[in-house]
Amino acid sequence: MELWNMTDAQAEPLSPLSNCTVDTSYRFAFYQMSYSVIFLLGLATNSLALCRLCLSPCTMNSTAIYMVSLSAADMFFVISLPMRIYYYHQRARALSLKTGDMPSWTLGVAYCHLTFTIKYISLYGGIFFLVCIAVDRYFAVVHPLGSANRRRRVAQLVSGGIWCLVLGLSVSLPLLHSAVARHHQPCLLDPSSQHHRIIILVALGLVLGSFLLPTVLLLFSYCRVLSVLRQPRHRSRCQRRIRQHTLTVIYWVLGVFLLCFVPYHINLLGYTLTQVGLLPHCALAKMTKAVHPIVLSLASSNCCLNPLIYYFSSSILHKEAPSG
């Protein structure tokens, strides 16, 4: 699911792209395979991370609080995958039988909205809490004399605020859909409609803002951390060990951003601008539509990769355990 159903819409194409089509029938089988793998790995890794974090209260420092929230956000998406897999199985089956009429969304408006909400809770909850981990590392390294207990209290407040923000953003996007969607296809928006274009562009602005602002904050925090870790005072054996663990967390978080989130948002921007007619470029429209299932699956795979941050930072969690 996207700002609208990118590949399933039945509306007439925009005039500049009227002859610009590309075969994306592979997406149904691809989504079944990728979502099945993501479901199995995400369920196992996030369940293990949550159990380890929640059953070890002595290590519940500020970093662990953000990681609990990150794993919880990922679990929201994981538990929504079985119905998605079933839906794409029905689409693939209809395509293989060549019935002509492809089944539309038949699960009702409520489930449509719930699906959108859960997706954006996971996607942007993941982004926000990864940034929180980056900022937490910034204060731990750049301002090491700060109280760990104070950082833990701040983490609790910030996590609560982010959950409210993510829920608000996630609910607002389905409400934008319901404001303009057709009754018999509640999950579809028509990009050729001028009214729908406005809604789509508003939603695009929310999505890109929710990605770009946290990305700037993450890059600033990690650049400052890296500059401090290069200083000579971090050359003792113990400090080198802590430095290595911190660098591993930094590189892993940056890797998740580069692999999962950057391609998805770049492709989303290009696809949206071509489909609403602001950038009538046929080759770009074909490319972004063709690779969309791949970049969406990469974005979804962050729920499998995020728990590994817990593994790489486990020594940090124990070293910074609050004393009381």
Q: Which fold has domain 25-319?
A: Rhopdopsin 7-helix transmembrane proteins (1.20.1070)
Residue pointed to by tokens 């690779």: 291
pLDDT(274) > 80: yes
Rounded to whole angstroms, the Cα distance separating 82 from 38 reads 11
Which pair of structure tokens corresponds to residue 139? 């204060």
Q: What per-residue confidence (pLDDT) applies to 308?
A: 82
245-249, 286-290, 314-318: lowest mean pLDDT where? 314-318
Which of 197, 171, 176, 198 is CA-nearest to residue 187?
176
Cα(78)–Cα(237) distance, integer angstroms: 41
Residues 272-298: b if buried by 16+ CB within 10 A, e if exposed: bbbbbbeebeeebbbbbbbbbbebbbb
Q: Using 50, 70 and 90 to split pLDDT, how confident is the model at 283?
A: confident
Structure confidence at residue 179 (pLDDT): 52
Residue 160 has pLDDT above 70, yes or no: yes
Confidence of residue 6 (pLDDT cuts 50, 70, 90): very low
57 — pLDDT class (breaks 50, 70, 90): low
CA distances from 124 to 3, 25, 76, 120, 294 (A): 14, 28, 12, 6, 19
Q: Where are the alpha helices (DSSP H) in the chain?
A: 27-54, 62-97, 109-142, 148-180, 194-229, 237-256, 262-275, 282-300, 302-305, 307-312, 314-319
pLDDT higher than 70, residue 58? no
29: buried, middle or exposed (CB in 10 Å: 19+, 13-18, 0-12)?
middle
> 233 falls in which pLDDT band (50, 70, 90)?
low
Mean pLDDT of the 209-222 span: 88
How high is the mean pLDDT of the chain?
76
For residues 293 and 24, what is the distance between their CA atoms, to the nearest angstrom?
9
Considering only CA atoms, which of 309, 257, 268, 231 is closest in space to residue 46?
Answer: 309
Q: Which residue has the higher pLDDT, 137 or 73?
A: 73
Bridge partners, residue 182, by sequence: 185
- Burial class (CB within 10 angstroms; exposed 0-12, middle 13-18, buried 19+) of 313: buried
In which residue are the tokens 């005072």 written?
233
d(CA 101, CA 216): 45
pLDDT digits (tens, 9 = 90+) for 82-111: 878 887 887 777 777 665 555 555 566 667
> What pLDDT does 266 receive?
93
Give the pLDDT of residue 159: 92
Least confident of 49-63, 88-102, 174-188, 235-249: 174-188
- Give the whole-angstrom CA distance, residue 106 versus residue 195: 25
pLDDT at 145: 65
Average pLDDT over residues 203-218: 87
Q: What percent of the chain has pLDDT over 70?
A: 71
Say yes or no to pLDDT of 234 above 90.
no
Please report the pLDDT score of residue 41 as a whole number. Answer: 93
